[in-house]
Amino acid sequence: MRPWDTITAMEDIAHIAGHVLEHSVADTAYLIPFLFVTYLLMEWLEHKTAGRTQEAIRHAGAAGPVVGAFLGVVPQCGFSAVAATFYAGRVITLGTLFAVFLSTSDEMLPIFLAEQVPATTILSIMGAKVVIGMVMGFIVDAALRLARRDRQDLRIHELCERDNCGCHEDCAACESDPASVYGHHDDACHAHGDCHAHGHAHDHSHDHGWKGIAKSALVHTVQVGVFIFIITMALNAVLEVVGEDVLADFLGANPALSVLASALVGLIPNCAASVVITELYLGGILGAGAMLAGLLTSAGVGLLVLVRANRRWRQNVAIIALLYVTGVCWGLIANGLGVVF
């Protein structure tokens, strides 16, 4: 290899690396506020009124898929990350998580708007995803109720314990010296048992308590943010080297299998998946069924957050598999009915 060829190759590598880093930072940065606010809320739920909160969650669970489907349709995948975190702490039901995942489309709406797609088409596709999200959310929750597996306790303390966020340090300090945490000796420490999964609530309304909540939320956010950044950078590197054209060829090569392939591509936790699926649909390469299948499974980084926060790997595999099957089934139904958006 000639010296200038080596220099050119190195420049190409540097350009690709810079491009990958730039996109990975951007993809991760906009999620940080979502994650921090989510963990703040979760810590407050865990420390403030755990017993009453759990009852409220159980009673509100029936309406969860409705709320989840409408929140999920908001552009970008921030709400899918929030939903995955809430589900890991059992703040929301599995049906609500599915409603959010199925209605989320990452980059679909911005691309449609940029391409000046008719408003009726955009609203039809978004409406279909919202309705499917609600329906599947209710079905999942109903199935869990029939199987008597719908009762769930908050598991936020497990996230704290696993990630060493500092909550348990406060617990130990409280037990040994309540004044160091709450500023006075009272019954607060006896109520602090919720950090140890005893199920009792305690009041963190004092300054030290809120500082502890913020510290814990910040630690969680940094840990999850680093995880998302590393995985996103790896995915962006692969997509940059392989090229999005390969994804396009993969989806358009065999129309008979386009629904299966599109749903599989949608599971890639990266915005490139929804971009390719949307562009191929607008280009006439993918039909309505294949497009719908791919965008239903395109939950973005919500899948990454789920895998990171919910350490029950068999459960995660089952959720992802059911998400894929759901996308494929509704895509095939759309094809069978001759649906055109």
Q: Are 222 and 28 in contact (CB under 8 A)?
A: no
**Residue 326 is assigned to a structural domain of this protein:** no
Checking phi first, is residue 186 left (phi over 0); if not, alpha (psi -120 to 50) or beta?
A: beta
At 183, the pLDDT band (50, 70, 90 cuts) reads very low
Residue-wise pLDDT tens digits, 297-324: 998 888 988 998 887 889 999 999 999 9
DSSP category for residue 20: H
**Residue 250 is assigned to a structural domain of this protein:** no
Compute the half-sphere exposure of residue 157: CA atoms within 13 Å on the CB side of its CA. Answer: 20
pLDDT at 273 over 50: yes
DSSP category for residue 197: T
pLDDT at 169 over 60: no
* Range with the largest mean pLDDT of 33-37, 200-204, 236-240: 33-37
What does the pLDDT average to over 18-33? Answer: 80
Nearest to 277 by CA among 300, 298, 303: 298
With tokens 């006896």, the residue in question is: 190
**Residue 16 is assigned to a structural domain of this protein:** no
* Range with the largest mean pLDDT of 139-148, 165-174, 188-197, 233-242: 139-148
Non-local CB neighbours of 278 within 8 Å, separated by 6+ positions:
107, 108, 111, 112, 291, 295
Q: Which range of residues forms the domain containing residue 62?
A: 29-234+300-310
Question: 3-state DSSP call for residue 184?
Answer: coil
With tokens 């199935």, the residue in question is: 143
Non-local CB neighbours of 69 within 8 Å, separated by 6+ positions:
99, 100, 102, 103, 129, 130, 131, 133, 134, 137
pLDDT at 188: 41
**Residue 219 is assigned to a structural domain of this protein:** yes
With tokens 């109903």, the residue in question is: 142
At 275, the pLDDT band (50, 70, 90 cuts) reads confident
Distances (CA, A) of 98 to 86, 156, 296: 12, 20, 10
At 114, the pLDDT band (50, 70, 90 cuts) reads confident
**Residue 80 is assigned to a structural domain of this protein:** yes
**Residue 101 is assigned to a structural domain of this protein:** yes
**Residue 228 is assigned to a structural domain of this protein:** yes
pLDDT at 16: 74
pLDDT at 242 over 60: yes
- Could you give the CA distance from residue 85 to residue 302 in angstroms, rounded to a whole number? 8
Counting residues of the chain whose pLDDT is more than 90, the rounded percentage is 23
pLDDT at 132 over 90: yes
**Residue 144 is assigned to a structural domain of this protein:** yes
Please state which of the ranges 14-23, 94-103, 166-175, 225-234 shows the lowest mean pLDDT: 166-175
Residue-wise pLDDT tens digits, 69-88: 988 887 666 778 888 988 98
At 12, the pLDDT band (50, 70, 90 cuts) reads low
Q: How many domains does the chain have?
A: 1
Pick the more confident residue, 320 or 58: 320
At 282, the pLDDT band (50, 70, 90 cuts) reads confident
